[in-house]
Amino acid sequence: MKRIIPFSKYFLPAAIFSGALAIFGIVGYIAQGFNLGVDFQAGLIQEVQFAPPAFRLTYVGPGSASFSMNRSGLSIVISGSGVEGTTYEFPFAAYQTVEALVSALPNVQGLNARAIGSGIRTEYLVQSAQGNPLLSADPYTVHYLPPRRRSGVH
């Protein structure tokens, strides 16, 4: 006895399923973009920042000190056991040069700052790719990016 499988009977449902799957794929590509995932990325990803140093910070006080910076200023947060959590704000509007900022930073007990460059405006300071680091006796360097000079062919 020969068994006959009626493939033509399932053609229309299979074509509808296949078309719907293709449409969902196109809509997903348009909505989410194409993500190669981790399989197609290099084994080592490094971020390199070419920016000259502006100043260095060290902290040898009680508790731990974290450093954070945004476009409007920088913050030092002192926290830990036996230390009352305190946040020190240094707005760039009040300290327009690195020298002025570095002279105000030692108001935080245990924090030492040393300017590396001179004449650097605080608006040029950039956040490190390392995130918000904890300060310690090892120097943490804050960098800056000067504005690009436009050069044209005359």
The predicted pLDDT at position 150 comes to 43
Q: Which residue has the higher pLDDT, 19 or 124?
A: 19
- Angstrom distance (rounded) from CA 115 to CA 117: 6
Among the listed residues 65, 138, 154, 142, the one whose alpha carbon sits nearest the alpha carbon of residue 101: 142
Closest CA to 119 of 72, 51, 54: 54
Distances (CA, A) of 142 to 12, 22, 53, 110: 65, 50, 6, 18
| Partner residues linked to 143 by β-bridges | 53, 126
Residue 49's pLDDT is 59
Instruction: Express each pLDDT in 25-60 by its tens digit.
Output: 999 888 887 766 666 666 666 666 578 889 999 999
pLDDT digits (tens, 9 = 90+) for 89-111: 999 999 999 999 999 998 888 99
Provide the pLDDT confidence category of residue 80 given band limits of 50, 70 and 90: confident
Residue 149 has pLDDT above 60, yes or no: no
The pTM is what?
A: 0.61
- At 103-140, the pLDDT tens digits run 999 888 899 999 997 889 998 888 776 666 888 899 98
Quick: pLDDT tens for 54-72: 999 999 988 889 988 888 8
Cα of 102 vs its chain's centroid, Å: 24
